């Protein structure tokens, strides 16, 4: 583990970048943070067992660098949170970047809305080098968005800032989730708290490269259903979970995916018993 000396005074923000084998992107991400107009922050890069030059590149910058064996993005983010000194935690994925006023927007929002514990900005999507128009269903919202968030992920890690005290209430990222780990945490948060939103696109989110988790794992809804299970005493959540199970099982039977059938068949029948079917 390599770390800079602890700051003599706590910064307002702790910015956490988890990285695994992103030597082609990590410098761009770091430089976008260092170029922020609001400078009261510490930057923590957590290298999650990279085998390329990601850690070496990150170490050239005035940051805190934490190195750990490869345990996944949830573990890396959690390590960053636990090592942080700031009152507010902001995340940046290593293949994304921030525009210069990203932290300034968070600072302004929390000053104007001190009761909020979570806030995000809008973002621009770039996929395979081309600008991607977001559909209406993907538009971010503010306020109590728990039920809207059941259907798809409406919070982006690179766009969000969270008061550190909130993790004491809802817990950290669930490291058992191989994917959709952010979706699972957002459900725990949005069940209790409203989300603030600034519609200015201050994140550039890149997609389409093959090492993204969304490209690696089949059947993303299997993880979303798992995230919903603790909330299925709510009829609205139960309804969505059952529908997602039905879609999963239909696809699994079509493609003879015994793993999905064996895992989600019992879950589906258990959910049906809750509603008396």
Do 107 and 183 fall into the same domain? yes
Residue 38: which residues within 8 A CB-CB, separation 6 or more? 13, 101, 103, 104, 106, 107
Could you tell me if 252 and 161 lie in one domain? Answer: no
In the listed set 190, 210, 230, which residue is the last one of a domain according to the structure? Answer: 210
pLDDT at 236 (0 to 100):
97
Count of structural domains within the chain: 2
Claim to verify: residue 174 and residue 230 sit in the same structural domain:
no
Instruction: Report CA-CA distances (Å) from 257 to 180, 213, 219, 252, 272.
Output: 20, 20, 11, 5, 22
Regarding whether 265 and 137 lie in a shared domain, the answer is no
- What is the domain extent for residue 240? 221-274
User: Are 60 and 188 part of one and the same domain?
Assistant: yes
Strands 97-98 and 196-207, sheet pairing: antiparallel
pLDDT per residue, tens digit, the chain (277 aa), is 333 434 457 999 999 999 999 999 999 999 999 999 999 999 999 999 999 999 999 999 999 999 999 999 999 999 999 999 999 999 999 999 999 999 999 999 999 999 999 999 999 999 888 888 877 788 899 999 999 999 989 999 999 999 999 999 999 999 999 899 999 999 999 999 999 999 999 999 998 755 554 444 456 899 999 999 999 999 999 999 999 999 999 999 999 999 999 999 999 999 999 987 6
Cα separation of the two ends of the chain: 54
Contacts of 134 (CB under 8 A, 6+ apart): 125
| pLDDT for res 276 | 75
Do 183 and 60 lie in a common domain?
yes
Residues 56 and 121: their CA atoms lie apart, in Å, by 31
Residue 43 lies in a domain: yes
Residues 6+ apart with CB under 8 A from 209: 95, 215
Q: DSSP for 131-146, please give it.
A: EEPPPGGG----B--H
State whether 135 and 262 are in the same domain. Answer: no
């Amino acid at each position: 583990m390599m770390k800079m000396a602890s700051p003599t005074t706590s910064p307002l923000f702790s910015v956490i970048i988890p990285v695994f084998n992103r030597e082609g992107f990590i410098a761009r991400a770091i430089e976008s943070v260092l170029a922020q107009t609001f400078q009261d922050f510490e930057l923590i890069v957590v290298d999650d067992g990279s085998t390329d030059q990601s850690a070496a590149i990150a170490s050239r910058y005035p940051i805190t660098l934490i190195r750990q064996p490869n345990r996944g993005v949830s573990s890396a983010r959690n390590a960053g949170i636990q090592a942080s000194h700031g009152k507010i935690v902001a995340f940046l994925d290593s293949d994304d970047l921030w525009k210069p006023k990203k932290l300034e927007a968070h600072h302004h929002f929390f000053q104007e809305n001190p009761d909020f514990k979570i806030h995000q900005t809008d973002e621009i999507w770039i996929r395979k080098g081309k600008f991607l128009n977001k559909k209406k269903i993907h538009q971010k919202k503010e306020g109590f968005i728990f039920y809207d968030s059941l259907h798809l992920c409406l919070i982006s890690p690179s766009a969000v800032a969270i008061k550190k005290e909130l993790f004491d209430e809802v817990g950290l990222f669930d490291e058992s989730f191989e994917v959709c780990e952010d979706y699972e945490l957002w459900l725990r948060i949005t069940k209790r708290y409203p989300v603030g939103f600034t519609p200015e696109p201050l994140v550039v989110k890149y997609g389409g490269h093959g090492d993204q988790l969304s490209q690696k794992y089949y059947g993303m809804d299997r993880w979303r259903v798992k995230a919903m299970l603790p909330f299925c005493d709510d009829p609205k959540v139960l309804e969505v979970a059952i529908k997602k199970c039905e879609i999963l099982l239909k696809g699994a039977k079509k493609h003879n995916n015994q793993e999905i059938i064996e895992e989600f068949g019992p879950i589906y029948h258990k959910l049906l018993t809750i509603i008396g079917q």
